[in-house]
């Protein structure tokens, strides 16, 4: 009975994991170096934009000619968008390519250039581009007039915006329902709701049949 009262000594158990930590499942060789991926080369439009920004106006033609760029409408449009906040440089680049022996600007490139010029409030330059589109027989497009109208309106010249719409036919681009809705939208966005309402009442039921109309008789021009 005495033996039953004796407490057995506590047997210490050893956890081998404390003495010998488990190895990771995968081991990297000691001489393996972590390589940092190289940055991708700059895109072609980024390269052109950089050249335009860093070149003087007089040296730009030579600078661009020293590189074998394949000028396309997509490339030119991408460059113009990259130069959006550098309007004068963008227009300089656009005008340089107008003298290119094989490349001809597309209507979308002209629209971007018109928007840049009008944003700088160089309206004469913008209208000159409209005339150039007509001379090349690639416009002017309704979008080009929509851009001009919006820039006039946002610049506080809502009446000029309306005149842009009313004079479209004089430049070989006849008004249609889409262009009419566009000028109404432009006026409303620039808080000239009363002017938009007056224009709407005047042309209520307007369908834009493509025929010429003397808008001076309506008192707008």
Instruction: Please state the rounded mean pLDDT for residues 91-115.
Output: 93
- pLDDT at residue number 107: 95
pLDDT value at 13 more than 90? no
| Residue 159, domain member (yes or no) | yes
| Residue 31, domain member (yes or no) | no
Quick count: other Cβ atoms within 10 Å of Cβ 143? 19
Range of the domain at 97: 72-138
* Residue 127 sits in the same domain as residue 163: no
| Residue 216, domain member (yes or no) | no
pLDDT value at 46 more than 80? yes
* CB 45, CB 79: distance < 8 Å: yes
| Residue 121, domain member (yes or no) | yes
Name the percent of the chain lying above pLDDT 70: 73
| Residue 149, domain member (yes or no) | yes
Instruction: Please state the rounded mean pLDDT for residues 82-99.
Output: 93
* Residue 81 sits in the same domain as residue 133: yes
* CB 132, CB 189: distance < 8 Å: no
* Residue 145 sits in the same domain as residue 203: yes
| Residue 17, domain member (yes or no) | no
Which residue among 92, 119, 138 closes a domain? 138
> pTM for the complete prediction?
0.74
* Residue 93 sits in the same domain as residue 151: no
> Is pLDDT larger for residue 152 or for residue 212?
152
For the chain, give percent helix, strand, coil, nearest 5.
Answer: 55, 0, 45
């Amino acid at each position: 009975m005495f033996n039953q009262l004796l407490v057995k000594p506590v047997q210490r158990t050893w956890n081998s994991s404390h003495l010998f930590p488990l190895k990771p499942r995968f081991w990297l060789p000691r001489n393996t170096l972590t390589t940092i991926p190289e940055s991708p080369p700059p895109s072609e439009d980024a390269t052109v934009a950089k050249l335009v920004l860093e070149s003087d106006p007089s040296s730009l033609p030579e600078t661009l000619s020293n590189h074998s760029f394949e000028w396309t409408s997509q490339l030119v449009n991408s460059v113009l968008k990259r130069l959006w906040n550098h309007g004068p440089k963008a227009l300089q680049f656009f005008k340089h390519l107008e003298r290119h022996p094989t490349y001809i600007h597309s209507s979308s490139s002209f629209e971007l250039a018109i928007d840049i010029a009008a944003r700088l409030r160089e309206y004469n330059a913008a209208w000159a581009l409209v005339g150039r589109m007509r001379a090349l027989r690639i416009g002017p497009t309704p979008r080009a007039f929509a851009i001009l109208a919006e820039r006039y309106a946002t610049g506080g010249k809502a009446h000029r915006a309306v005149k842009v719409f009313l004079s479209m036919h004089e430049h070989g681009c006849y008004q249609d329902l889409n262009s009419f809705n566009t000028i109404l939208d432009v006026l409303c966005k620039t808080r000239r709701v009363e002017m938009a309402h007056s224009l709407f009442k005047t042309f209520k039921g307007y369908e834009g049949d493509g025929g010429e109309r003397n808008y001076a008789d309506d008192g707008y021009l």
